[in-house]
Amino acid sequence: MKSQESNEFERAEISIRGEAIKKTLNALGYETPDATDFFKGIQEYYVKPSIADVVTEELLQIAEHDPNFLKNQGIILPDNLESYISNLYLDSHGEKGVKSVIYSAKVIFRHIRFFLVTNPDEEELTHTITEFKKLLEGNYLKT
């Protein structure tokens, strides 16, 4: 078992090396967020908003791009997606499973908009749509 001193030394070494890499990348013109900013961004973009907020935000951009896109993909969003997911996954996967699926639904729905509108990529969009359909059918998590 490693001593606390050894662990602290390793963390300090990693921090020093990380800063050196960051400075090099910045000098080359690359933008490098620190870990705190990175995880704060994930928190603000995926964790903190409700699934209803994410769907509302992303649906506006999807509909602006193609008002019938989800319908044409065979996706019908339930009125209350969070309750729908809870009903699908609670018995088989518990509260942790429901939370995981809700988080995944937020990520996937944002990716649908991203691969349709922001950075069009037909292959990635098709994969993302397939994953969202699996999620809505109750087949996202393995039992």
Cα 25 to Cα 33: distance, rounded to the nearest angstrom: 11
The identity of residue 69, as a single letter, is F
Provide, rounded to the nearest whole percent, the portion of the chain with pLDDT above 90. 64
HEC letters along 56-71? HHHHHHHHHHCCCHHH
33-72 pLDDT, tens digit per residue, is 666 666 666 677 677 889 999 999 999 999 999 999 999 9
pLDDT of res. 32: 74
104-133 pLDDT, tens digit per residue, is 999 999 999 999 999 999 999 999 999 999
pLDDT of res. 41: 67
pLDDT of res. 3: 66
When pLDDT is cut at 50, 70 and 90, the band that residue 134 belongs to is very high
Cα 81 to Cα 123: distance, rounded to the nearest angstrom: 26
pLDDT of res. 35: 66
Domain ranges of the chain: 1-32, 34-136
- Return the closest-CA partner of residue 114 out of 130, 125, 127: 125
The CA-atom distances, in angstroms, between 88 and each of 56, 99, 134 are 21, 12, 11
